[in-house]
Structures are given as structure tokens and as C-alpha cells.
Chain A
Amino acid sequence: MSFLDIVGPVMIGPSSSHTAGAARLGRLAKACWGTDTLNEVIVFLRGSFAFTSKGHGTDKAVVAGLMGMLPDDERIRNALMLAKEAHFPYRLTTEDVDGAHPNSARFSFLGKNGRRLDVVGASIGGGAVEIQEIDGFSVAINGELPTLITFHKDTRGVVAAVAVLMAGREINIASMTLHRKTRGGVATLVTELDMNAPPDEQLCNAVLQAHPAILRVASLFGGGNNS
């Protein structure tokens, strides 16, 4: 761990996993959804997130994160009130899922034209988080590096197309993981990039056009653990 991770993060208390991690998880889950109009997001708190939610401010922190706040934002304290004032369409509930990570949550996003997205993530200790599932795909995204997620039809050439595009823009790929549900079905490609800022809209559009099988691109950046 780096010195600034040892003396840090700067955060709203009381708990790095239940408060800071919860805020970071909410923010990262919202980044999966993107900037599309949101009709509703239902948050299902699991495990000890559900059990000690109020005592640790997990409920406030998750909603604050969904609204884009960082773990050190003083507004986390009043996040539920601010969400109400801003008509932020959230609903908090709990669910008991066998085998779920003890500090985890599922986010069910609903948008216009029936668009839906299901994201499962966990707070894995010290304020670090991990997105573990997107629409039923098992992934492992921590948001420490800018990350691109493509949703595409499982066919040859998608990985190469993304790699060639990044090479052409002189962006180094830190990691690349491919997941598919069935052969020829829907697949996702998670690509972590050595960049200092999240991939912008222009880059996302370029990726979207890099291969005809690519249906959608999401850009994620949690801002690292120092944020």
C-alpha cells in the first residue's frame, strides 16, 4: 500500500468499509449506468450493509455516491434529505442472498424506453470496492484505473478492434477481461487503461464504432482510493 493509502483516505466517518466504501460503490454503480435519464434506482443492501446500515450511515453514503459525491464529501451526512430535495429517484431496501459478499449491494437501474441495468458490488475493506456483476455477467472492476466496458455480440475481432484503437491513441492497456453468457450471445469486455482521467465521450464513441458487434460502451472511473 502506498503512503497516501496508509494515511488516508480522507473520508466521512465512521467506517471505511460501511461508509467510504458504500459511497464509492454507489458512485461506481452509477457510472456503470452512465448519464442516461434515470427513472428509478432500487438499492438492495445485503449482509452487514443491511444489518448496520443506519448506524454506519451506509444508507446515506450509498445514495450520496449514486448522486456523484466522493467519500470525503460533507454533504453525505444529509444525503437522504438532499436526494429528496433534488427529486433523486432512489428506493432503499434490503435482500437476503445466499452466498452474497457480507458488505454488498445490488443496484437496479430503470431508465426511459424500458432500459434496465443490474449492478452488484461489494465493499471489500479499507474503503476499496469491487463491481462484481453487471447484468448477470461476473466481473471484477475496482474503478482504480479508468475502465471501459463494452457490451457486444460474441464474435471474433472485438478484442483486436479495441486493442488496435487503444494502440493508435497511444493508450496502454493495463488489463483486459472477456466474459460471455453463451457462444454467439451477449458478451462484455472489461478494459482497464493507464490514463489519468476517465475515458471521454469521444473515446467511448470511437470504441462503439470500432467493431459492428459492439452494442454499447460504458466508461468507469472511481478516482482511485485516494479520492
Chain B
Amino acid sequence: MRSLAEIFAVCASSGSSFTHAAIEIETSESGCSVEMLRKGMLSRLKDMEFSVNEALSGSWRGLLVPEEAYLLHEYGADAASFSSPFVLTAARIAIAVSTYNAAMGRIVAAPTAGSCGILPGILFSYRDHFRCEDETLLSGLFAAAAVGSVTAARATLAGASGGCQAECGAAAAMGAAALVQMRGGSPDAVGHAVALAYKSILGLVCDPVGGLVESPCIKRNGMLVSLSALAADMALAGLRSLIPPDEVIDAMGQVGRALPESLRETAGGGLAVTPTARELVAKLLQQE
């Protein structure tokens, strides 16, 4: 899928939702039937749900990062938090699934393994707080997939090419699209949510400590669900991105290409080369 503009065009001519238009384009491009595609995506949703259940019910940790998601749950029980209950649950799920990934759990890369917590956080916190059927979650997941597909075509979804913009950043924009779609927002609002989310992560670097998918990845997954939520709220409230979403995605790709190699998943810069990071890695190598 080359652009969000072509999705909006189908929406405008047929009056269909963002998700329906995206499914129409995807099936005509791939030759896959609507039924097969829906079946495939439903199985992804079920695998995602399974990973959430496993992540929340077990005790998992990475090589460097300990189990922490439960702390948010304990904290969220009293109503004084600054983030909404939806955001806190989404962050807790995102951190739990990301930690589960670091512990070699079975996850759905969405769009990548390093960003695998964000969409499950958004979708299953939505179900918890706003009560909905699988059908609603599926429409959100399709909207997210369409945004990811356009991003892959126009920019990149690989940290090695575009830094973390292309992984957690992309997942946050996909999550924003999912939220607006699940709320029944207009295609236009979906587009603005995507643009607003992406604009706030431009330049985000990939600088993992020890090259491991743990720090800062795990808590960044938790952090960025709040960006999805606020981008969706802003777009639903009627705020508009001055730059249209396709152009914002192009900008993300361009910024990614301009990032030095040391900040593109090589663990050669940023947090990865801080004294503490070096110390942690040295300790880890000793243990091995």
C-alpha cells in the first residue's frame, strides 16, 4: 500500500470506513480474499491475546531488565495517577509483553519484535476499559496494519535503517490509528492521529544497551502507548496536523536515512555507550 491518500480516496468515493477501504485495497493488491485476510488477522489477534495472557500471568525478566510491569498495576489502584486508567493499563500490558519478548516468549511482531508491546497494550486495554467485541479490536488492528504497510512502502520499519522511529514510533502511530478507528472516528481523523503521533517521534534513535532488546526498548513500549492515546484524543477532538500524514511518513524515512549508523541498532551510540551501560554489559559478559 503506497499511501494513506489512496485509502482516503476510496473512503470518499464509497463512504466506507478507513478499515474497510484499507481491506478493499489490500485484497485487490494481494489477490487474497477478504475472508482469508480476515481469518489471518483474527489469528494474529488471538496470538496477541495469548501473549498478553502469558505475559501478565507469569513472572518474566530480561537479562538486564527485571520484572516491573506489576508495579504499574499496584500504583494504578489508587486514583491519583496522572495518566488515565486506560493509559496505565495499556502501559502495563505493553511493558509486560515486551519483557515477555526479552524472556524468549512467543509474541506477535507488530510491526517488529522490539515494538511488540504497544499494539497489544492499546487493543487489550481498550477492551478492558471500554468493553467491546473481537470485531472492534480487529477493525483497529486492520487500521494499524494499513498504517504499517504505508510506512514500510514510503519509509521503513527497521531500526537498522530508520532508528526507533521506525519501530516503536511506527507502532505508536499504528496504535493511534487503531484507537480512532475503534472509536468510530472519521478516516480524516485516523490520518491526523497518525500524523500527530509520527511528528512527535521524529529523530527517535535506536540505541539498545548491549544490543539487547531490553533497555530502553521495554519501557519505551510502555511510554509510547500514551502517545497513541493523546494523538487519538487530539484527532478526535478535531485538532489537525498541518502536514498531511503521507508527507510526515516521508519525513520519518528521510530523517532515518540521515541518522548516523551509531544510532541505528548498532549499540554504538546514545544510551548504549553510557558508562553505566558499558558496566552492565561487562558484567553480563562475565556471567557468560
Contacts and interface: CB of A to CB of B under 8 A. Distances in A.
Interface of A: 1-4, 6-17, 19-20, 48, 51-52, 54-57, 60, 72, 74, 76-77, 125-127, 226
B158 interface: yes
Nearest to A72: B106
Nearest to B267: A52
A7 B108 CA distance: 7
Given A2-B26, A13-B107, A7 B116 contact: no
B284 A55 contact: yes
A51 B272 CA distance: 15
A45 to B, nearest CB: 14
B158 A126 contact: yes
A6 B102 contact: no
A97 B147 CA distance: 39
B214 to A, nearest CB: 8
28 contacts: A1-B148, A2-B26, A3-B26, A3-B41, A3-B148, A4-B41, A4-B145, A7-B41, A7-B44, A8-B44, A8-B109, A10-B47, A10-B106, A11-B106, A11-B107, A13-B100, A13-B106, A14-B62, A14-B214, A16-B114, A20-B109, A48-B211, A51-B211, A54-B288, A56-B212, A56-B213, A72-B106, A126-B158
Given A9-B109, A57-B104, A52 B145 contact: no
Contacts of B108: 7-11
A1 B153 contact: yes
B26 A14 contact: no
Nearest to B46: A10
Given A2-B26, A6-B145, A11 B109 contact: yes
B148 A6 contact: yes
Residue of A16, A55, A76 contacting most chain B CB atoms (<10 Å): A55
Contacts of A9: 108-109
B52 to A, nearest CB: 13
A60 B103 CA distance: 13
B113 A2 contact: no
Contacts of B288: 54
Interface in B2-40: 26, 30, 32, 37, 40
B112 A16 contact: yes
A6 to B, nearest CB: 4
B201 interface: no
B211 A3 contact: no
Contacts of A127: 109
A125 B152 CA distance: 13
B141 interface: yes
B9 to A, nearest CB: 19
Residue of B26, B102, B145, B161 contacting most chain A CB atoms (<10 Å): B145
A9 B48 CA distance: 11
B61 to A, nearest CB: 12
Interface residues of B, number: 47
B157 interface: yes
B40 A13 contact: no
Nearest to A76: B104
A16 B44 contact: no
Nearest to B141: A7
Given A3-B145, A6-B152, 15 more contacts: A3-B142, A3-B146, A3-B148, A4-B44, A7-B119, A8-B108, A10-B108, A11-B109, A13-B103, A14-B113, A14-B212, A15-B113, A56-B211, A125-B158, A125-B161
A16 B210 contact: no
B38 to A, nearest CB: 10
A2 B119 CA distance: 17
Contacts of A72: 106
Residue of A7, A19, A20 contacting most chain B CB atoms (<10 Å): A7
Contact of B213 (A15, A48, A226): A15
Contacts of A3: 26, 37, 40-41, 142, 145-146, 148-149
A55 to B, nearest CB: 5
Interface in B187-235: 210-214
B44 A11 contact: no
A227 to B, nearest CB: 12
Contacts of B100: 13
Given A3-B41, A4-B40, A52 B210 contact: yes
